[in-house]
């Protein structure tokens, strides 16, 4: 019997260590630790609902792309807007929406990537029940973002047709 213990005991130890590791992973995701700082609460009228913006990289003469982390509370969204040099969105947490004018709204989840073409009116934001976090890479070489109308409740509530763009 003792003979078997020396084989079984290491397996039990490995099992317990693995379980403990899983618990640690769970507690980290439950704490919802932030990938980037949430930043300051938006005070412009370019958004509706509670939105936080943290600039990560300012555009300059060498890198003409601004990088920012944007956190949308459930139901929060941008107005319709245009980026003269386009934009790339990297979804890092939660469940969000993205819609281009004349197209169906799509659902964004962690790991999804969206390429917003230059001069195409669009909006992005959180889904009604879940917050959404995105990193936005915005080309500044052709000028600042042009802000348009608020997103109507009908557009916001419209059923999303596709889950992913890529």
Beta carbon nearer to Mn ion, 4 or 56: 56
C-alpha distances (whole Å) from 101 to each of 9, 38, 150 are: 63, 28, 13
CA–CA dist 49, 77 (Å, integer): 7
Tell me how far apart the alpha carbons of residues 92 and 71 are, in angstroms, rounded to a whole number: 10
Question: What are the residues binding Mn ion (CB under 5 A)?
Answer: 87
How near is the Cβ of 146 to Mn ion at its closest, in Å?
10
Nearer to Mn ion, 65 or 87 (CB): 87
**Cβ nearer to Mn ion, comparing 78 with 131:** 78
Q: How many CA atoms lie within 13 A of 39 on its CB side?
A: 21
Minimum distance of Mn ion from residue 159's CB (angstroms):
22
Shortest CB 87 distance to Mn ion, Å: 5
- Round to whole Å and give the CA distance between 137 and 67: 5
């Amino acid at each position: 019997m003792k003979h078997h213990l020396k084989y079984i005991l290491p397996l039990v130890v490995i099992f317990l260590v693995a379980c403990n590791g899983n618990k640690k992973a769970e507690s980290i995701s439950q704490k919802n630790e932030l990938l980037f700082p949430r930043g300051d609460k938006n005070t412009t009228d370019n958004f509706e609902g509670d939105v936080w913006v943290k600039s990560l990289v300012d555009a300059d003469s060498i890198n003409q792309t601004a990088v920012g982390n944007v956190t949308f509370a459930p139901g929060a969204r941008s107005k319709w807007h245009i980026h003269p040099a386009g934009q790339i969105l990297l979804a890092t947490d939660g469940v969000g929406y993205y819609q281009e004018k004349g197209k169906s709204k799509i659902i964004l989840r962690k790991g999804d990537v969206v390429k917003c073409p230059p001069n195409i009116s669009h909006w992005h934001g959180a889904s009604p029940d879940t917050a959404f976090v995105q990193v936005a890479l915005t080309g500044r070489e052709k000028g600042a973002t042009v802000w348009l109308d608020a997103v109507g409740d009908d557009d916001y509530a419209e059923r999303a047709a596709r889950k992913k763009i890529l």
